[in-house]
Structure 1
Amino acid sequence: MAEIKIGETYVSRETYERLKHYETLVKKWSPKINLIAKSTLSDIWDRHIVDSIQICEEVVFPQTWLDIGSGGGFPGVVVAILAAERAPDCAITLIESDQRKCAFLRTAIRECGAKATVMSKRIEQVPPMAADMISARALADLTTLLGFAERHLKPEGTALFSKGIQWKKEVDNARSQWQFDLKSTSSWTEPEAVILEIRGVTRV
């Protein structure tokens, strides 16, 4: 079966069709529950889906993956769709406090043939998850995200955070409170954006 190129990677036709169905669902639900900014509705594929796919390309799928503040499912649902084929044994959990968005996430996961658990709670109220991997996109500043990582990530785990043009300033600010090892990778879709791969998170 021929693979289809998305961004800088390739996926099977089945995965591609699942991702396209997810795109359709986001377009259908977003006007009602504000899944993504209205200004990006016409560019969901590049702005949100391809960007989320890149997060999965930076690492090997672990045993447990926790996506926090999942919102419209970027990157959580995309991770689950890719894992359905690449890592079916990976246990994926999405945390989202908004009940309506949780309803969307569960619908998207089911209709796209993926597997993931959705938790309808605030991140700080969830018992420590001891996840191998934690991800977040457009959720909070890096200092705050590292606090969530400290709570929910295994000591040897990895955090993956998508960040925009101000990422270097956020890193500098975070280092006043946190120690961590950092690798940055330029975004496929936004020249000044990056994916931060972080390990060894400890308080200063």
Structure 2
Amino acid sequence: MTILSEQSIRKFKQHLKNGSNDLGIKVSEHQVELMTLHAKELSAWNKKINLTAIKDPLKVAEKHFIDSIAPVSFFENEKCLMDIGSGGGFPGIPIKIMKPSLKVILIDSSRKKVNFLKHVIRTLHLENIDAIHSRVEDLHGNKVYKNKFDAVISRAFTDLSNFVELAFPFLSDKGSVYAMKGKNAEKEITSEISKNFDFKIDHYLLPFEKSDRYMIKLFAKR
């Protein structure tokens, strides 16, 4: 991915604006600038560590950034979010850019990726957000994180049953799991999930390639 030339940067920004508008999400000029800076750092670091296989700037805009901000349409009054398996910062950093008041914790088991995430956080001057190097399971007993989050989100991190098992120890009493999935999302709703959780499935299309995306929101039956 090379987002270096002025022409590439202009195209990236316009693609980001147009695609977000198509999803009904208004992105300010400042937010576009922050996401562009994130994309530049992703490009630079991707030459050293494997952060993304997507290299075309317009596909990066759609598949990483536009897809990452889509969840803000489905959020309610969450104040504290954990992003599991954040990798290159998706969806957590774009969500933070769109919702600056949200406290965000990014979790990844790769130290190199966490170093990248911390670098982006510093570079973008984001506040009330941090990246933690850890296996998710190792944090389950940590009082700093246990039952502290209104929402736990992931994007194609693992299958839904495993993600639910990993995520629920971090949720507060009224917290929800948000799983970002592709076209086979509904097949991941097992009988065990249906028995133990209430859930809602929302559908959206990536605006340019028209790929199906699903947001599965799960919460404990009350």
**TM interval, short-chain normalised:** 0.7 to 0.9
Quote the Cα distance in structure 2 between the aligned partners of 1:100 and 1:83.
Answer: 26
**Residues 182, 35 of structure 1: alpha-carbon distance in 2 compared, 3 angstrom cutoff:** same
- Over aligned residue pairs, what C-alpha RMSD do you find? 1.9
Q: TM-score, normalised by structure 2?
A: 0.79
Distance 1:149 1:99 in 2: 21
Report the counterpart of residue 133 of structure 1 in structure 2.
151
1:118 aligned residue: 131
Structure in which a larger fraction of residues adopt strand: 1
Map of 1:21 onto structure 2: 37
- Unpaired stretches in structure 2, ≥5 consecutive residues: 1-16
**Structure of greater Rg:** 2
Name the structure 2 match of 1:194: 214
Q: Answer with 99-108 or 122-131: which moved more.
A: 122-131
- CA shift for structure 1 position 172: 2.5
Counterpart of 1:106 in structure 2 is: 118
In structure 2, the residue matched to 1:30 is 46
Could you tell me which runs of 5 or more consecutive residues in structure 1 were left unpaired when the two chains were aligned: none
Structure 2 partner of 1:82? 98
Query: TM-score with structure 1 length normalisation?
Result: 0.86
Residue 166 (structure 2) pairs with residue 166 (structure 1): no
Determine the C-alpha separation between the residues in 2 that align with 1:72 and 1:201: 33
TM superposition outliers: structure 1 runs of 4+ over 6 Å:
none
Contact 2:147-2:173 within 8 A present in 1 as well: no
Give the letter aligned to residue 55 of structure 2: L
Contact 1:70 1:94 in 2 (8 A): yes
Query: What SS does the corresponding residue of 2:99 show, helix, strand or coil?
Result: helix
User: Against the structure 1 CA distance between its residues 137 and 201, is the aligned structure 2 distance closer, same or farther, given a 3 Å change threshold?
Assistant: farther
Q: Which of 73, 79, 86 pairs up with 1:57?
A: 73
Q: CA deviation at 1:92?
A: 1.1
Kindly provide the amino acid, as one letter, of the partner of residue 132 in structure 1.
D
CA distance, structure 2, for counterparts of residue 57 and residue 113 of structure 1: 24
SS in 2 for 1:33: coil
Residues 129 and 100 (structure 1), Cα distance of their counterparts in 2 relative to 1, 3 Å cut: farther
Structure 1 CA distance for aligned equivalents of residues 86 and 196 of structure 2: 25
* Cα gap change, 1:179 to 1:31, in 2 (>3 Å): farther
Rounded Cα–Cα distance in structure 1 between residues aligned with 2:157 and 2:134: 15
CA distance in 2, matches of 1:71, 1:14: 24
**Shift in Å, 1:144:** 0.5
> Which residue in 2 is equivalent to 1:92?
104
